[in-house]
């Protein structure tokens, strides 16, 4: 998703209590970055404008969430969304951390000791051209990286509107040794999640009549 530069985003992020500007320094000790360090740790890759992470985290205050994106403007909007949702629920965002980082280099900030229990990947760039497919967040090369910090039995929840990306991801999961526990080619008609929080993309594509594909896989 392209987004206009927002000059306020970086200053606001740097002043935020739930934004971390030096994620590499927290590698192997992310649980200590949260007030409730014993909570399970979940991760969203590509958080966009933050609707998913804000509404997911507020419903599960007993889980710690890290949301990653590479674009300051996106993270700035995500920060404001988290603040809005938590304020409306008379809470402070103590179980959410936003970080700016290139997901391709994720092993620089996460490792086995971080014990991530679940990864959410929602409507990532499908990179349709063959030479770019290795950039997909669900590509085999990326899944192999995630295995380095997911716990045994750790899960990946994935949603997309793109048919080719979804079918390819099923193959990527097999290649990387993940077991697909559930899948659907029409999430809204055949739900596989106990709780489905729609992203901005999901709402847009659904209004266009595009079916949402989804899966749950575990290592």
Residue 2 is predicted with a pLDDT of 65
Task: Say how many C-beta atoms besides its own lie within 10 A of residue 1's C-beta.
Answer: 11
Q: What is the pLDDT of residue 1?
A: 56
pLDDT at 201 over 90: no
pLDDT (mean) for 144-161: 98
Range 145-171 average pLDDT = 98
pLDDT value of position 153: 98
State the Cα–Cα distance between residues 82 and 58, nearest whole angstrom.
9
Q: What is the pLDDT of residues 40-93, one digit of tens each?
A: 999 999 999 999 999 999 999 999 999 999 999 999 999 999 999 999 999 999
End-to-end CA distance of the chain: 29
**Confidence (pLDDT) at 200:** 86
- DSSP assigned state of 36: S
> Which residue, chain included where needed, has tokens 């740097």?
14
DSSP 112: G
pLDDT of residue 7: 86
Check if CATH label 3.30.2310.20 holds for domain 9-218. Answer: no
Instruction: Tell me what pLDDT residue 131 has.
Output: 85
pTM of the shown model? 0.95
Mean per-residue pLDDT over the chain, rounded = 96
What does DSSP assign to residue 126? -
Asked if residues 69 and 100 have their Cβ atoms less than 8 Å apart, the reply is yes
Confidence of residue 5 (pLDDT cuts 50, 70, 90): confident
pLDDT at 180 over 70: yes
| Domain boundaries along the sequence of the chain | 9-218
Q: pLDDT for 8-24, tens place per residue?
A: 899 999 999 999 999 99
């Amino acid at each position: 998703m392209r987004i206009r530069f927002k000059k306020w985003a970086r200053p606001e992020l740097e002043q935020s209590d739930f934004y971390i500007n030096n994620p590499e320094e927290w590698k192997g000790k992310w649980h200590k970055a949260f007030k409730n360090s014993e909570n399970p740790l979940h991760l969203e890759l590509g958080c966009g404008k933050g609707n998913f992470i804000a509404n997911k985290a507020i419903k599960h205050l007993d889980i710690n969430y890290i949301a990653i994106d590479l674009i300051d403007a996106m993270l700035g909007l995500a920060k404001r969304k988290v603040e809005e949702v938590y304020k409306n629920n008379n809470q402070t965002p103590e179980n959410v951390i936003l970080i700016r980082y290139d997901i391709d280099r994720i092993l620089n900030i996460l490792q086995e000791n971080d014990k991530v229990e679940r990864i959410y990947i929602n409507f990532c760039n499908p990179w349709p051209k063959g030479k770019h497919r290795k950039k997909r967040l669900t590509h085999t090369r990326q899944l192999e990286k995630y295995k380095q910090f997911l716990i045994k039995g750790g899960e990946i929840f994935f949603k997309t509107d793109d048919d080719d990306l979804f079918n390819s991801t099923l193959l990527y999961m097999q290649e990387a040794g993940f077991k697909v526990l559930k899948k659907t080619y029409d999430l809204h008609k055949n739900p596989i999640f106990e709780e489905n929080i729609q992203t901005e993309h999901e709402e847009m594509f659904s209004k266009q009549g595009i079916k949402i594909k989804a899966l749950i896989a575990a290592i």
